[in-house]
């Protein structure tokens, strides 16, 4: 465990630039980087999207596809990597709902992720949708999903060193802890 391992949560709406931001930060990593994808390839459209995202990632990155068990996957990657980009918590919540997991189990999974972040075993960049600023979902399942994702995002944001909100491709810092030298290969920011 190293003091340079920190975490960043990148939130944003659909097509806000959050994944591109995560990739850009990941490319600055000073060491081996992994990409943890939570999206299952359920149809042709999603397979095409996954292929496009794979092509956008640097060739040297390790890619792991894990729709349910984020923390165990990150633990396995921690010994050989300095950074894991997790894209995205939105689909992780959706996957678990479709699997039949209850709200309490999903929130407990978010709490486990927050505890893992506090261990600082590896640097993490996590991507999630901000769904709380849109219209009220018209269906019960939509409402449940938005409430649950909001709870997950709050738990992860509380544990993260940095939280960035992406709006129209522009990063807005919501929470910021000073970054030590070596985090993502960037020098410390000036005060």
pLDDT tens digits, 82-109: 999 999 999 999 999 999 999 999 999 9
**Distance in angstroms (rounded) separating the CA atoms of residues 165 and 139:** 26
Average pLDDT (28-53) is 85
Number of H helices, E strands in the chain: 6, 7
Q: Are strands 83-87 and 123-129 parallel, antiparallel or unpaired?
A: parallel
Q: What domains are there in the chain, each with its CATH number?
A: 7-178 (3.40.50.300)
Q: Which residues are catalytic?
A: 53
* Spatial distance between the Cα atoms of 149 and 146, rounded to a whole number of angstroms: 5
Mean pLDDT on 124-147: 92
Where do the H-state alpha helices sit in 3-88? 18-27, 44-56, 70-78
- pLDDT of 72 > 70? The answer is yes
Q: Average per-residue pLDDT in the chain?
A: 89
Looking up tokens 């978010």, which residue turns up?
110
């Amino acid at each position: 465990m190293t003091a340079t391992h920190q975490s960043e949560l990148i939130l944003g709406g659909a097509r806000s630039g959050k994944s591109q931001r995560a990739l850009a930060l990941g490319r600055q990593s000073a060491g081996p980087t992994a990409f943890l994808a939570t999206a299952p390839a359920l149809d042709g459209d999603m397979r095409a999207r996954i292929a496009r995202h794979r092509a956008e990632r640097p060739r040297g990155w390790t890619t792991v596809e894990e729709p349910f068990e984020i923390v165990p996957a990150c633990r396995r990657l921690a010994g050989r990597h300095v950074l894991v980009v997790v894209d995205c918590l939105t689909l992780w919540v959706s996957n678990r709902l479709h699997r039949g997991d209850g709200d309490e189990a999903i929130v407990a999974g978010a709490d486990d992720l927050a505890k893992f972040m506090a261990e600082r075993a590896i640097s993490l960049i996590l991507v999630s949708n901000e769904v709380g600023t849109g219209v009220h979902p018209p269906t019960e399942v939509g409402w449940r999903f938005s409430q649950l994702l909001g709870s997950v995002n709050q738990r992860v944001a509380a544990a993260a060193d940095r939280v960035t909100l992406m709006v129209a491709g522009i990063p807005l810092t919501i929470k910021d802890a000073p970054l030590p030298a070596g985090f993502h290969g960037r020098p410390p920011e000036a005060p």
